[in-house]
Each structure stands twice: as structure tokens, then as C-alpha cells.
A and B are shown apart, each in its own frame.
Chain A
Amino acid sequence: MDRRTLALYRERATWSIGHGDKKFWVSLFVLSSLVAAGVYAYVYQVQRGLWVTGLNQKVSWGFYIINCVFFIGISYGGAMTSAILRLTNAKWRAPLTRIAEATAVAALFVGAVYPIIDLGRPDRIIYLLQFPQVGSPVVWDLVAISTYMVASLVFLYLPLIPDLATTRDSLRPGLLRRIYGMLALGWRGLPSQERALRRGIGIMAVLIIPLAISVHSVLAWLFAVTVRGGWHSTIFAPLFVLAAMLSGVAAVIIVVAVFRKVYGLQQFITTKHFRYLSYLLIALGMGYLYFMVSEYLTEAYVLEESTAPVLEAIFTGSYAPAFWSFTILGLVFPLALAALPGRLTIARACTASALVIAGMWLKRFLIVVPGMAEPIMPWDWGRYAPTWVEITITIGSAAAIPLILIVFFRFFPVMSVHEMEEVEGAVERSGGLAPAYGGGGDD
């Protein structure tokens, strides 16, 4: 990449910092209102009690647990794009990592709040720290999510340091410059600093993958260590991890596409990136299909008394519409769409990803609700329908993610300048192989 293109890259990456146009303020207002509505619904719930939800004695877990798993799954996009692509030295990752890491942190925060929303006595949450029981999956959840959260923040912060320095240097002397300066830890691009930073980032990249795996495994074990049909399955942990990676990559595709459009990154994030990301999507999707087939085949072949009712319900019973919508519209069709020969348009990648994300939410619903509603005693199936409280909180939490992102990118560069320089520098050092991408991008 020649110096001019690099300068253009830097300009586009930092364009959003301090730049508040009408679109920004309108988005901020709309998203904040949605989040505020969600907060209002939660306060309403805390004041009155959980009876304001659609939960009952048979189905005692519903939207909140579904959303917890869903949003934490979305956060895997960061681990996938940033960590795995870094470790496999995929050069095309450079413009994407910042968006992916920031989305991961935002989604993780939103997802981690849900178990608290679900609690009957949130005022007693401190008991989890006072009297934790090491045998409880809820405590494993607490440990895994908090560890992953700290790791994600560190993994977001460390590569940010050089970009903070760049921003610091572009500011006029003043309070803002001092703050950036403090956060940038006196970065000057010196070789010793590069070494120290690379080591820290390298450790985190290696660490964040098993951490990510542990978080969704623990979420899976919340269900799998009970003896309910449809839940007590040994494949649950790998299934959840793969589902999270799938929904994470799909989320990255959509978020990157949106920010590319709105922040004018077309030159640097091209269809090639979307093509590569969709390869990941297809691979993960096929893996997920394989795990699903493995689970259902094993259970359906034997039709044990505990699993038979659930299988019947999702294949041919009252949950069948949801299940087949998920399988066909939410998994098979989008994967086929992404895999179609011919030039992949970003629109096609985004459509596929949107369907995958919606499908993944539906799959989490199909895991939680039939498992709770099934007849474990000689009674009828339970029923569950969410109320406005649960729906409003869901919408508010979904709006919180783009809200966090647009505020975040007001202060920090939307693409990682340093990582691009690093990748380009590595390319030059290795004798001028084809750079990560050409100067002019497709659209």
C-alpha cells in the first residue's frame, strides 16, 4: 500500500472521531429512546415482580435466558475475526478487527446483563459473590463471563493503544489530548514498544479463544446438566460454541457492512472481505448443521421416553413451524445463498447473515422453551408467550449494541490503523507479496 493510500486509510478510520453530523444525532436519539424504553420496562418489572412476564410455573425460563445466550453468541464475532484471523495470519482482517472487537464487547455487555434481568431478587445479586457454590452452573457462568469480559476489554484496548496515540497527536493540546495521551501510555511506535505490545496482544489472542469456548460451554451446561429431554445432551457444549461462532460471524458481516456504508470505508473494506467472511459463515454453518444432525439422529433413533415428546414437538408438533423455519430459512437457505457461484455482493452476504442471525435466535428459543414446556410429569405441555415487558427489553437491548458502537467510534478509530500498518509492513518485509487488498476497492 503506498503512502497515499495509507494516509487515506488513516483519514477514513479517524473520520468519525469528534464528527457529529445529523445522521449521528438522529441515530443517537432513536437508539437511546429504544434503550430507554427497555430500561423503563425493566424498572416496571422490578417494581411489580416477574409476573409481568409471560413466565409461569412450567416454563420458568424464557426470553431473558434466550437473549442472554443469543447476545453472548453475537460477541463471538470478535473472537473469530480478531483472534483466530490474527493467529492464522490472515492479512485481510486488518480493517475489520476494530469493528469486530468493539461489537464483541458491546454484545457481551448486553448479553451479560440478561441473567440479572431474569433474577427474581436482583437486589441480592451480591450473594453470588458472598456465597458462591462451585458446583452450580450459574456460578460457572458468572466466572466465565466476567473473565471473558475482562479479556475482551483487554483485547480491545491493547491494539487500540497505537491508534490512541495517533489520535492524541492529531489533537490540539488540552484536556482531551491529555486523556488520550494517558490511555496511549506514551506510545511512540518504538521497536521496544512494538515488541511489548505484540507480546501482550499475542497472549490475549491465544487466551481469548479457549475463554470464548469456555463461556458458551458453560452456558450450554446450564441446560445440559439437567435431566430434561432435549437438554440433557452431551453435544450441547460444542453445539453452543459453534452456534455462537456462526452468529458472531454473521453479526460481524452485518455490522461491518453498515459501518462501511455509513462511515465511508468502501475503499478499504471490499467485497473480498465479505467473501472471506462468508466462507467462514458457510464453514461454520455446515459444521452447525452437522452437529444438529448428530444430536437429532442419536435421539430420534432411540426415542427415549424423555426425549421423544420434545422431538415430536419440534419436528411435527406445535414447535414445528418454528423449527423448520429455522432449519430451512435460517440455516440451509442462507448458507446456500452465500455459497452461490458468481460474484458475491455485499447485499447477498448481508441477507444471508441477517437470516442466520434471526435463525440463531429462533434456535435458542427452540432449545429453551420446549425444554421447559415439555411434560416431565404426566401433565400437559406448558405454554409460553412473551409480554410487552420482555419484548420491549429485547428491543432495547438490541438497540443498545449499535448505540454503544456509534458512541464508541466517536472517540476511537473505526478501523485499526496500526494493524493495517503492521500487516502491510509484514507484507513488505516478506518481499512484496500481494498486499492485503489493492488501492481501489469494489463496491
Chain B
Amino acid sequence: MTRLFAAILGAVALLAVGQQPAFADHVKPTIDVGARASDRSELGYIIDARLRTADGKAIGDAAIRFYELVTFVGPREMFLGGATTDSQGVASIAYLPALTGTRQIVARFAGCCEHIAAAEARFALEATIAKPAFRQERQPLAAFSDRVPYVVGVLVLAVWGLIGFALFAAARGVIGGARGASRKEGPA
């Protein structure tokens, strides 16, 4: 009877122990983060982060948050997205940079369950794929409308010319007529 009881106890203990992670001490995991180009280029890159213990054992079901280090009114960490590690300890997000060039990516694990410490890894991605450059919408008619005032300006100048012509031609006609007549009359 005792042997059966001990066997059951042992089995329960084994089961119980088996449920727990195989490590009971404080764990310091490591993250390896890298990126690869996505199959669909419009998605840009896939950033993978693998969370492992020091022994190399994968940690699943862990929440990884990804950030990009940006300079925007001071240095900031821009949140890119979060993913949960799978059974291989890999969490991935799609990432399409806004600009090409060196992008500093940070993968962060906040730690879990009192005995798994937080971990962080950085990675410099040389991005050659990026979103289409920001284009300001230009109104379709703008180019045309910008020129219209200058055309009108020429018309205005023509009008001023006409006014001047009306005034000075009339004045000249009147003055010239007087001179012509006084010449005909001779000295008064």
C-alpha cells in the first residue's frame, strides 16, 4: 500500500515538477534580434527576436516589444509593435521603415513571473527598403493658376498703355492743332 502511495505521490510530484519550467532559479534570458526582407516587398522587413535562456532553451509565450530609436524633438523610442514568442522563442513583426539608412531597432522583454529577468537587444538595420517618400499633394490646377496673374498683369499694362495713348494723343492733337493754326494765321 505504501509503495502504491509513494508511486502516486512520485507521479504527482513528477507531473507537478514537469509542469513547471525546468529552471527554478532566477533566469537571465538573452534576445537575439535580426531582420530579414519580407517576401512581399511592400511589407519591408520582418524583425525576428529570439528569446532564450542562457543555456539556449527557448522561452515561449513571452511578450516582446519592438522599438526604433528615433530623434524627434530629442531622442525617443518609437513603438513599432509587439509580438509573442512561439514555441521556438521567436517573435516577429513586420517593419517598413519610413526612411532608408541605418535604423536602430530595440527588442525588449519585460520579464516575467518574478524569476525571469527583463532582457533587451539592439540591432542596427541597414534599411534599403522604405515607405514611399512623403509627397505633399499638389493641387492639379496649381501650376496653371499660378501663371494666370502674370497674364492678367500684361493685360493691365496694355490698359495703362491705352489710357496713356488716349490722353497723350488727344493732348498732342489739341496742342498741335493750335500751333498749326497760329502758324497759318501768322504772328497775332
Contact = CB atoms under 8 A, between A and B. Distances in A.
Q: B156, B166, B180 — which one has the most chain A CB atoms within 10 A of its CB?
A: B166
Interface stretch (A55-63, A188-196, A418-426): A188-196
A333 B170 CA distance: 45
Contacts of B150: 134
A185 B171 contact: yes
A226 to B, nearest CB: 16
Contact of A204 (B156, B163, B177, B181): B163
Given A154-B163, A190-B178, A134 B170 contact: no
Q: Is the interface of B mostly helix, strand, loop or mixed?
A: helix
A200 B156 contact: no
A188 B177 contact: yes
A135 interface: yes
A127 B25 CA distance: 79
A204 B166 contact: yes
B174 A186 contact: yes
Contacts of A200: 166-167, 169-171, 173
Interface in B127-186: 145-146, 149-150, 152-153, 156, 159-160, 162-163, 165-167, 169-181
Q: Is the interface of A mostly helix, strand, loop or mixed?
A: helix
Given A134-B150, A197-B170, A200-B169, A186 B178 contact: yes
B163 A151 contact: yes
A2 B56 CA distance: 126
Contacts of A306: none
A354 B174 CA distance: 41
Chain A, interface residues (CB within 8 Å), range: 20 to 34
A28 to B, nearest CB: 31
A121 interface: no
Interface residues of B, number: 27
A211 B162 CA distance: 12
Q: B159, B163, B174, B178 — which one has the most chain A CB atoms within 10 A of its CB?
A: B174
Contacts of A147: 156, 159-160, 163
Given A186-B178, A190-B178, A203-B165, A195 B173 contact: yes
A187 B160 CA distance: 25
Contacts of B160: 147, 150
B166 A185 contact: no
B180 A196 contact: no
B149 to A, nearest CB: 3
Contacts of A211: 159
Contacts of B170: 158, 196-197, 199-201
Contacts of B174: 161, 185-187, 193, 196-197
A203 B170 CA distance: 10
A196 B172 contact: yes
A197 B159 CA distance: 19
Contacts of A186: 174-175, 177-179
A158 B172 CA distance: 12
A207 B167 CA distance: 12
B146 A135 contact: yes
Interchain residue pairs A-B with the least CB separation, the first 5: A196-B173, A200-B170, A186-B178, A134-B149, A193-B177
Interface of A: 134-135, 143, 147, 150-151, 154, 157-158, 161, 185-188, 190, 192-193, 195-197, 199-201, 203-204, 207, 211
20 contacts: A134-B149, A143-B156, A150-B160, A154-B167, A158-B166, A185-B171, A185-B174, A186-B178, A186-B179, A187-B178, A190-B177, A190-B180, A192-B180, A193-B173, A193-B177, A196-B170, A196-B172, A196-B177, A200-B167, A200-B169
Given A192-B176, A193-B174, 19 more contacts: A135-B149, A147-B159, A147-B160, A147-B163, A154-B163, A154-B166, A158-B170, A186-B175, A188-B177, A190-B178, A192-B173, A193-B178, A196-B172, A196-B173, A199-B173, A200-B169, A201-B166, A207-B159, A207-B163
